[in-house]
Structure 1
Amino acid sequence: MTKVRIGITGIAIESSTFSPHRSTVADFHVTRGEELLARYPFLREDRPSWTDDVEWVPLVHARSLPGGAVTEEAYAELSGEILDRVRAAGNLDGLFFDIHGAMSVVGRTDVEAALAAEIRAILGPDVLISASMDLHGNVSRALATALDLITCYRKAPHTDAWDTRERAARNLAARLRHGGKPKKAWVQVPVLLPGEKTSTRLEPAKSVYAAVDEVEALDGVLDAAIWVGYAWADEPRCQAAVVVSGDDEEVIATQAERLAKSYWDARRDFAFVAPTGTLAECLEQAVASTARPFFVSDSGDNPTAGGAGDTSWSLDVLLRTPAMVDSDLTTLYAAIVDPEAVATAVEAGVGATVSVELGGKVDSGPHGPVPVTARVEAIDAEDPVAGTAVVFAVSGLRVIVTARRKPYHLESDFLALGLRPREADVVIVKIGYLEPELYDMAADWLLALTPGGVDQDLLRLGHAGIERPMFPFDAEMADPQLLPELL
């Protein structure tokens, strides 16, 4: 059988328009050639048989830790290379478009749709384009129209991320051999909720997303997907969406409406993935509890949702809480990005006492830099993400400070700095819902509703560009029709 040629490209970032952080080219890890192919487990050794008659054409892919909006200069450089490489790729039968779906660019809206349209203009109408997305991405009509196949994760936390990418590529290869372009039934749902209220660990999201597998198994259906949308960007596309694709128009339209209505009907039942409170309330409960380690999420500045990572509001609270600094408790705080403070610590060396103005230099809205006098307890100058990470000790409080933004999701992240989270009393992490390893480690857990660029209290952020009415901004709005459109 003649091999089909499938290109691979994309830009993947989740961008908070409420964060003052700006994402530049330096924030992206860019892969090309064999390094890009090696990114995908299903394209390494022991490839599945469905890849046998595919010639994979690696173009260029850029991915970044979530952050603030991408600068126009960075987007022009990254998208320009994508378009140039698509033009130079020769005849392609298909394109695997690996994106997040919540990229914002300063001065633009719906940028993934615009990029997909530019790629479509180069490839022409007959080349099939298949997108893999995060379920916290957004699907406008323009994006759904520019793509032939489109799917997203079905788990939050995203334990199925690589399964989803493989499904998007596998479906593309299959449709290039047989069936061609599927029909798509698309409908948006006027609901905008944070991921911490829509985790598939809990009801109602658990059942809502379980129905996606049921729909996909029906005759006439190729794929089904529900997008929660991205809550911390202020664009009309930011809302939930459903796409069901296949060859039976009646079935896919009926099932898209079914999934959309199930999401709408559950809108008031979505609840935070853990008990919540102010940071002070959460700390009080953590101290009083006998559960160890006790985790607290500093959710408003979560760098894996787009927070700047240097919001110092919570650090100020910790330093003014006697149980955190004037007791026998061991408390870990991960982490604050502050390259100036890291440089001071490195120059002074382990064991030295330094005075720094910590955090609040990028996102100073909630609180400015916090004066800290601390002992330098550890330095890791070879962290592949943070660049350099240091530990500042203030009595029983250990504060991780990084030269570059880094989320702390793994036990190994702490161990690299000589910190043992399993033996700590309290662990405070800039995160929303706990990632699997931390979730399994936590004896108990609370979600602190703290300020920052990814504030969980959406109503106080000040959205002005989203479509209205929308739940929960218009809590008593009338039921929408939710009639899918065939694209």
Structure 2
Amino acid sequence: MTLKIIPRPVIAIAGLACETSTFSPARTVSRDFHPRRGAEIIEKYKFLQEGTPLANAACWEGALIGHALPGGIVVRRDFEQLASEIMTRLHQIVAATPIDGLWFDIHGAMCVEGLDDAEAELLRRIRTVVGPDVVVSSSMDLHGNVSRTLAHGTDLITCFRMAPHEDAMETKERACQNLVDILTAPTRTGKPRKPYKAWVPIPILLPGEQTSTRMEPAKSLYDLVPVVEAIPEILDAGIWVGYAWADEPRNHAVVMVTGWDKATVMNQAKRLAAQFWKYREDFHFVAPAGSLAKCLDTAFASSKRPFFISDSGDNPTAGGSGDVTSSLIELLARRELQGKTGITMIYASIPGPEAIDVMIQAGIGATVTVTAGAQVDNIHSGPVTMTGIVFSIKHGDLNAEVEAVLQVGQLFVIVTKRRKPYHHESDFVDLRLYPRQADVVVVKIGYLEPELFDMAADWMLGLTPGGVDQDLPRLGHHRIHRPMWPFDKSLSELPEPTPELIPPSDESL
């Protein structure tokens, strides 16, 4: 038998990514996605740049990708604008040269006004342009959601295996490598052979702060993924925790396994799902947790410095609006931070466009009174007014645009023009703040990102209010499938997850 090989395949790139809380009053618009087009996409990913193995193996054609900071629901007209441009650019690519594959670069938890399964809908539209035979490889966040429709629409699918997501680029590269491997493998017909897929919905919905791979049982659970992937008949395996702060029917955990032997694919999917299900009662918060008052009391009494506290309910990298003021109001009332007590604290951060204008006009060293916060989320608390000294100002940040620090007693409050996450030491140092020398650092975040985790002598998870509240039952989900763990803890004997086999579109190749 003569085997045929596709000469250097052509692969298009498209996708939109935004982790979206339906419990936040914020809205995400097109500019928030910072769209990249054509060669700009290749510039973003070093593993696709000239001279790399993947660049040599295929011809990569960028359509459009957009990655927004997690936030509120995507405005429908803005989604339609970006989706329409993706279609137009794909039409142009296909008209110039037939394409063999498509890398679908997404997150998996994007919610759009009037759509329940935005990524699947976007892929459906893409298929109308590229056709059913083009091999689609999706890369996702493990906090994304894989609906049955999305599982059927993709040919290859993979997700992060670490939380925090230190393997994000590795995962995207793996999705591209898997795609190239399939497109360049010799086949009898010269058309690429597509794998079997097993999709397993699991009735568990947990926040990332209870499923970090730094700790058990998630660590052991995710350690199984490369073990399964190493089996010769298996191409890829993934475990999606799902996204807890959106109220949609697709929101739940999922296991997917792809490979060449359907029995092996089904058995290994069942193996991973059964292990996830077995661990369901063992997931706990990644750090000691409590109210903000409890966290502050513990931090002030501790000798460990710096002591970090996560203001988790308004975490902008989970979808929070970033401008809930309740925690800052509580901090301003603490006597430990009033006057020169010797305790220094950094708070990151609160949006306040008008406050920024006042601080810029007054200049560094000036004493000002400003009001900030609660312009988007005023459900949990109102705006906060502060009087302090302008400590520093910085222009040009991608997300915040302008940042300024207001010193109120021993509390250093970072004020931003637009919301911004603070994950890196340089985020603080650029503002003349040195978290390693502070006593306490309060950050709007969930689990600490690597740099913060490494510098924290100790830390606690503050169970604060907001659009990404860690207390899921009090948010009021009513559209997720029930029963669902941990919402239905009394139902201890829920049926075990069962894999669904999704065969390739043409098993004869």
CA shift for structure 1 position 428? 0.3
SS in 1 for 2:83: helix
The answer to whether the aligner puts 1:182 opposite 2:187 as a matched pair is no
Q: 2:338 aligns with which of 322, 325, 332?
A: 325
Q: Which runs of 4+ in 1 moved over 4 A?
A: none
Structure 1 gaps of 5+ residues are none
CA shift for structure 1 position 46? 4.2
The answer to whether the aligner puts 1:214 opposite 2:231 as a matched pair is no
| 2:376 matched residue in structure 1 | 362
The answer to whether the aligner puts 1:75 opposite 2:79 as a matched pair is yes
SS in 2 for 1:52: helix
Q: Deviations over 1:309-357 (max 9, x none)?
A: 1000000110111112342211000011121111111122112222222
| 2:105 matched residue in structure 1 | 98
Q: How many residue pairs align between the two structures?
A: 486
SS in 2 for 1:472: coil
Q: 1:432 aligns with which of 438, 446, 455?
A: 446
Q: 1:200 aligns with which of 189, 213, 217?
A: 213
Please identify, of 347-356 and 241-250, the stretch whose mean Cα deviation from structure 2 is larger.
Answer: 347-356
State whether residues 145 and 253 of structure 2, in contact with CA within 8 Å, keep that contact through their aligned partners in structure 1.
yes
Q: 1:173 aligns with which of 169, 177, 180?
A: 180
State whether residues 277 and 497 of structure 2, in contact with CA within 8 Å, keep that contact through their aligned partners in structure 1.
no
CA shift for structure 1 position 17? 0.5
Q: 1:282 aligns with which of 290, 295, 298?
A: 295
Q: 1:53 and 1:212 mapped to 2: Cα distance?
A: 27
State whether residues 399 and 418 of structure 2, in contact with CA within 8 Å, keep that contact through their aligned partners in structure 1.
yes
TM-score, normalising length: structure 2: 0.94
State whether residues 229 and 240 of structure 1, in contact with CA within 8 Å, keep that contact through their aligned partners in structure 2.
yes
The answer to whether the aligner puts 1:480 opposite 2:495 as a matched pair is yes
Q: 2:126 aligns with which of 119, 125, 129?
A: 119
The aligned runs of 1:396-435 (5 Å cut-off) are 396-435=410-449
Please identify, of 265-274 and 373-382, the stretch whose mean Cα deviation from structure 2 is larger.
Answer: 373-382
Q: Deviations over 1:87-137 (max 9, x none)?
A: 221111000000000000122111101111111122222100000000000
Q: 1:372 and 1:175 mapped to 2: Cα distance?
A: 59
Q: 1:137 and 1:101 mapped to 2: Cα distance?
A: 4
The answer to whether the aligner puts 1:311 opposite 2:315 as a matched pair is no
The answer to whether the aligner puts 1:258 opposite 2:263 as a matched pair is no
State whether residues 277 and 496 of structure 2, in contact with CA within 8 Å, keep that contact through their aligned partners in structure 1.
no
| 1:470 matched residue in structure 2 | 484
Q: 1:324 and 1:300 mapped to 2: Cα distance?
A: 23
The answer to whether the aligner puts 1:54 opposite 2:68 as a matched pair is no
The answer to whether the aligner puts 1:246 opposite 2:250 as a matched pair is no
The answer to whether the aligner puts 1:235 opposite 2:242 as a matched pair is no
CA shift for structure 1 position 365? 1.1
Please identify, of 88-97 and 175-184, the stretch whose mean Cα deviation from structure 2 is larger.
Answer: 175-184
Q: 1:52 and 1:3 mapped to 2: Cα distance?
A: 8
| 2:280 matched residue in structure 1 | 267
Q: 1:332 and 1:240 mapped to 2: Cα distance?
A: 36
SS in 2 for 1:11: strand
State whether residues 98 and 133 of structure 1, in contact with CA within 8 Å, keep that contact through their aligned partners in structure 2.
yes
| 1:38 matched residue in structure 2 | 43
Partner amino acid for 2:446? G
CA shift for structure 1 position 479? 2.4
Q: 2:86 and 2:325 mapped to 1: Cα distance?
A: 37
Q: 2:368 and 2:237 mapped to 1: Cα distance?
A: 55
Please identify, of 351-360 and 274-283, the stretch whose mean Cα deviation from structure 2 is larger.
Answer: 351-360
| 2:89 matched residue in structure 1 | 85
| 2:139 matched residue in structure 1 | 132
Q: 1:74 and 1:4 mapped to 2: Cα distance?
A: 32
The answer to whether the aligner puts 1:447 opposite 2:464 as a matched pair is no
State whether residues 49 and 55 of structure 2, in contact with CA within 8 Å, keep that contact through their aligned partners in structure 1.
no
The aligned runs of 1:340-355 (5 Å cut-off) are 340-355=354-369
Partner amino acid for 2:178? N
Q: Deviations over 1:402-443 (max 9, x none)?
A: 011110001111011111111000000000000000000001
CA shift for structure 1 position 382? 2.4
The answer to whether the aligner puts 1:393 opposite 2:415 as a matched pair is no
Q: 2:244 and 2:86 mapped to 1: Cα distance?
A: 27
SS in 1 for 2:34: strand
State whether residues 7 and 184 of structure 2, in contact with CA within 8 Å, keep that contact through their aligned partners in structure 1.
no
Partner amino acid for 1:88? Q
Q: 2:170 and 2:486 mapped to 1: Cα distance?
A: 32
State whether residues 2 and 53 of structure 1, in contact with CA within 8 Å, keep that contact through their aligned partners in structure 2.
no
Partner amino acid for 1:20? P
Partner amino acid for 2:325? S
Structure 2 gaps of 5+ residues are 1-5, 186-191, 503-509
Q: Deviations over 1:121-155 (max 9, x none)?
A: 22222100000000000000000011101110000
Please identify, of 228-237 and 362-371, the stretch whose mean Cα deviation from structure 2 is larger.
Answer: 362-371
| 1:163 matched residue in structure 2 | 170
| 2:505 matched residue in structure 1 | none
State whether residues 8 and 184 of structure 2, in contact with CA within 8 Å, keep that contact through their aligned partners in structure 1.
no
Q: 1:10 and 1:239 mapped to 2: Cα distance?
A: 22
Q: 2:338 and 2:84 mapped to 1: Cα distance?
A: 51
Q: 2:46 and 2:57 mapped to 1: Cα distance?
A: 17
Partner amino acid for 1:479? L
Q: 1:120 and 1:169 mapped to 2: Cα distance?
A: 18
Please identify, of 98-107 and 474-483, the stretch whose mean Cα deviation from structure 2 is larger.
Answer: 474-483
TM-score, normalising length: structure 1: 0.98
State whether residues 352 and 371 of structure 2, in contact with CA within 8 Å, keep that contact through their aligned partners in structure 1.
no
